[in-house]
Amino acid sequence: MSEATAGGDSRVRRIDRYTKTTALMQGGPFNQRLTACRMVLLSDPPAGCSGVEVRGFADPMRLPGARRLRNGVIQTDTVRLVGTWDGYALSLTEPPVRATPPQARPDPVAAPATPGALAAQQRLVADMRELRRQGVLIMQCAPDGDTISVLVPVADDQIVATLTRRYGPVLVSAWLERA
């Protein structure tokens, strides 16, 4: 995961390419769009996953290791995705290829949350739909001392500045990596 802090002048441009190695899911009881999975629901079979929408592949059953689970969810083996991020979805620029799952890294242990960080996190959670409409997908947020750790697909300076302005001290990490 890469991290960003306020400053500099980088911006996500349509030509920037990003990558992620993960499984994909689509369909099922929630009629989920094709999604690069960050977290998979623990039901058996899985009912879906959270992550980012993936565009640019018409038939997910043609992806490496694709199988339809008994609840209708299509799940793939771990694949390497490469594409562009528009604030809403990863648009593929290369076909997905089978890949080795990445090594899991534990999240760092957070410091006890201060009342200010808890209040800021509550405001951020309340604002998530509005942030999403603005192209800021919050994948995870948690207080860490007097800051809020926030995971977004791409952490450009504009997103970091927006989150800092609205919620105070933030540590913003990106889930997608530069290709």
In this model, does residue 12 exceed pLDDT 60? no
Residue 86 lies in a domain: yes
113 and 85: one domain?
no
Per the prediction, the chain carries an average pLDDT of: 90
In this model, does residue 115 exceed pLDDT 80? yes
Mean pLDDT, residues 134-145 taken together:
95
93 and 120: one domain?
no
Residue 8 lies in a domain: no
53 and 82: one domain?
yes
Which of residues 45, 74, 98 is at a domain's end?
98
Q: If we measure between CA atoms, which residue out of 171, 120, 169 comes closest to residue 149?
A: 171
91 and 110: one domain?
no
Residue 11 lies in a domain: no
In this model, does residue 10 exceed pLDDT 50? no
88 and 114: one domain?
no
Residue 45: cis peptide before it, omega within 30 degrees of 0 = yes
In this model, does residue 7 exceed pLDDT 80? no
Residue 155 lies in a domain: yes
Residue 6 lies in a domain: no
Mean pLDDT, residues 101-127 taken together:
92
Which of residues 63, 98, 133 is at a domain's end?
98
26 and 91: one domain?
yes
123 and 91: one domain?
no
119 and 94: one domain?
no
**What is the C-alpha separation between 150 and 99, in angstroms, rounded?**
27
Structural domain including 60 reads: 17-98
Mean pLDDT, residues 129-140 taken together:
95
Given this model, what pLDDT does residue 11 score?
47
Given this model, what pLDDT does residue 4 score?
42
59 and 110: one domain?
no
**What is the C-alpha separation between 57 and 49, in angstroms, rounded?**
18
pLDDT level of residue 161 (50, 70, 90 thresholds): very high
Domain of 172, CATH number, reads 3.30.300
120 and 63: one domain?
no
Which of residues 44, 77, 98 is at a domain's end?
98
91 and 160: one domain?
no
64 and 118: one domain?
no
Given this model, what pLDDT does residue 70 score?
94
Residue 150 lies in a domain: yes
The domain total for the chain is 2
**What is the C-alpha separation between 5 and 105, in angstroms, rounded?**
21
E strands within the chain? 2-4, 17-22, 24-27, 32-40, 49-55, 67-68, 73-75, 79-85, 89-92, 97-98, 140-144, 147-152, 170-174, 177-178
Q: Let me know: does 4 contact 175? Beta carbons within 8 Å.
A: no
Given this model, what pLDDT does residue 109 score?
81
